[in-house]
Amino acid sequence: MAEITASMVKELRERTGAGMMECKKALTENNGDIDAAAEWLRKSGLAKADKKADRVAAEGRIAMAQDGGKAVLVEVNSETDFVAKDANFLAFTDAVAQAALASGAADVEALKSAKLASGETVEEARAAAVAKLGENIQIRRLARVDSANIVAAYVHGGKIGVLTEIKGGSADFARGVAMHVAAMNPPYNKAADVPVEFVEKEKEIELAKMSEKDKSKPADILEKIIGGKIAKIVNEVTLYGQPYVLNTDQSVEAAAKAAGADVVRFQRLAVGEGIEKVKEDYAAEVAKAMQV
């Protein structure tokens, strides 16, 4: 049996991020072979990852990577905001975004097998991060654009990410639109993109809200009244109809026209949207942690 020295434990700990006792055990189990011990810890980490996989991960970060007209956003979730701010988690998410950009992965499943600069696959690195940080970590969503047009990628506070693609205009305007989308979250791009079903439903609602006196007005007058209300609603739910956040005196459509640009599309991700967060008291959280 090879002698397990403090320097060996230190090297393995720095390499894997695992705890001191885990590193010592790994070296003992593998007769002092650091490479084999690192692999042993990785496999152990996979087991830990499986054990934590059913825990709700609704916090996290949106990471981005861009190279000209190619850009990606990746949502990586953790259980707590504390871990989401950890330097190791931030480094992992940045590495995943770069791997997503370089690999051309179209979805999260394909991204799992993409290689990081370290040589690990994304899934191997994720499992190692679970073991190191002690929380369920999941790569939830991937958004990408690959275009000859102008593309902007913008992340606000690590929590909201936006990709925009425009024809004409400038990179500054594309970024401005991305900032607007991050702030205002328009469901649709232009009036033509609003579903007919949505418009018809809003007409029904507006008509139901009207007084009997207004409803008795001539059909053409009534149509104009309803039309005006619907136009206002459509402006509220479309990017082009909203006041531009960088100049609220004009709409995004007017700003785009002034910039000589046309917004082709946008994609927006916000951390944890659609995930039901489980609220537990502190005692329950401690008890749960003791069972892991």
Sheet strand arrangement including 138-146? 59-67, 70-78, 138-146
pLDDT score, position 265: 97
pLDDT, tens only, 15-52: 776 767 778 888 998 998 988 888 887 776 644 555 55
More confident residue, 24 or 115: 115
The answer to whether 79 and 8 have CB atoms below 8 angstroms apart is no
Q: Which fold has domain 6-52?
A: Helicase, Ruva Protein; domain 3 (1.10.8)
Six token digits for residue 164? 């925009």
**How confident is residue 292, by pLDDT bands cut at 50, 70 and 90?**
very low
| Per-residue three-class SS string for 32-80 | CCHHHHHHHHHHHHHHHHHHHCCCCCCEEEEEEEEECCEEEEEEEEECC
pLDDT, tens only, 117-141: 889 999 999 988 988 888 889 999 9
Per-domain residue ranges for the chain? 6-52, 53-146
The span from the CA of 45 to the CA of 91, in Å, is 18
Mean pLDDT of the 72-93 span: 94
The span from the CA of 52 to the CA of 286, in Å, is 15
More confident residue, 11 or 96: 96
**How confident is residue 289, by pLDDT bands cut at 50, 70 and 90?**
very low
The answer to whether 207 and 217 have CB atoms below 8 angstroms apart is no
Task: Count other Cβ atoms within 10 Å, centred on residue 267.
Answer: 18
Q: Residue type for 132, please?
A: K
> Does the structure show a pLDDT above 60 at 234?
yes
pTM of the model: 0.76
Per the listing, tokens 């599309």 go with 265
pLDDT score, position 158: 96
Q: Residue type for 247, please?
A: N
Six token digits for residue 113? 């097998």
- Domain 53-146, CATH 3.30.479.20 — does that match? yes
pLDDT, tens only, 155-210: 999 999 999 999 999 999 999 999 999 999 999 999 999 999 999 998 888 888 87
